[in-house]
Amino acid sequence: MVQAWYMDESQEDQRAPHRQQPNRAVSLEQLRRLGVVYRRLDADNYETDPCLKEIRRAENYSWMDIVTIHKDKLPNYEEKIKTFYEEHLHLDDEIRYILDGSGYFDVRDKDDKWIRISMEKGDMITLPAGIYHRFTLDENVELGEVDYINIHFALNPC
């Protein structure tokens, strides 16, 4: 089950959990009120998963690609990691589905506070258009790679 919490103000290693002390957990309902939708899917069978097919059909998401984050597989690895962690937003919804590994998606709440969402294999989140967010690997980065799917509303990727 996904976990989320309000982040502390530390500028230390971005891969650390950065939980406030005491911890201020964020529920799925609180995320939903921000427009962030969580789902748990079968990552081992994503190619044939009827739930994923239905989500894509219902939301009219017609394009997806797989991103592998590993220093030996991602060109310009260090630069990409920095780019992923830069705060940004999109004009369309953004869907991230973790196929393997783990990492954090951070989103801003209505008061401009960061919420950290811990994601692992099988977790999918939909971030609504216009929400500030960023991604980072977690402290498990040395154990392997992170594979995730980008799912987009697009007739043609451009």
Annotated binding site for Fe(2+): 88, 90, 94, 133
Side by side, which strands form the sheet with 146-152?
A: 37-40, 123-127, 94-100, 146-152, 63-69
- Binding site residue list: 88, 90, 94, 133
DSSP-derived letter for residue 142 is G
* CA atoms lying within 13 Å on the CB side of residue 74: 20
Binding residues for Ni(2+): 88, 90, 94, 133
Question: How far is residue 123 CA from its own chain's centroid?
Answer: 9
